[in-house]
Amino acid sequence: MRTPHLRYRAYLLLVMNTGGFWVDMSTYTNLSAVSKLTPHLCSEFFICVVDGGNCTEFERTSKLIIDEYILEEHFNTTMNVFPDLGDPTAPGSVSMRAKIALHGQAENAGNGSVGGLSLNPAVCTPSIRAVM
């Protein structure tokens, strides 16, 4: 079920492990580009983490945002937490860690991929996205 509760849990995982910089708009080197990627990232998050589907696109989009659009200091922090960013089947990917956090067990984590946790989940809502 696609509930705000699951999105919030995934977001808490990100913040607890990396820091609260995701909600600071100055974190992003190109906020316009990130805002355009956010709807796709959110839908892929649900496909991968919530619905247990394929995580390749979620991981790819997460990696793109992290590689290209966040400040270097935050990039380094993120890569320390998600060393396998970009590989949806690796234990240190955003996808896999999000699945484990949401579902509680590695065996329920599916094919793995945790890339989409790199944004404030509030931007997944149309009202916030429109403001950005």
For residue range 42-85, list pLDDT tens digits in order: 888 888 887 888 999 999 999 999 999 999 999 999 999 899 99
CA distance 125 to 106: 29
Q: Are 118 and 68 in contact (CB under 8 A)?
A: no
pLDDT over 70 at 92, yes or no: yes
CA distance 58 to 30: 19
Residues for the chain: how many in total? 132
- State the pLDDT at residue 99: 81
What are the residue boundaries of the structural domains of the chain, listed by start?
4-124
Can you tell me which residue has the tokens 């955003």? 94
- State the pLDDT at residue 118: 35
How much is the pTM?
0.73
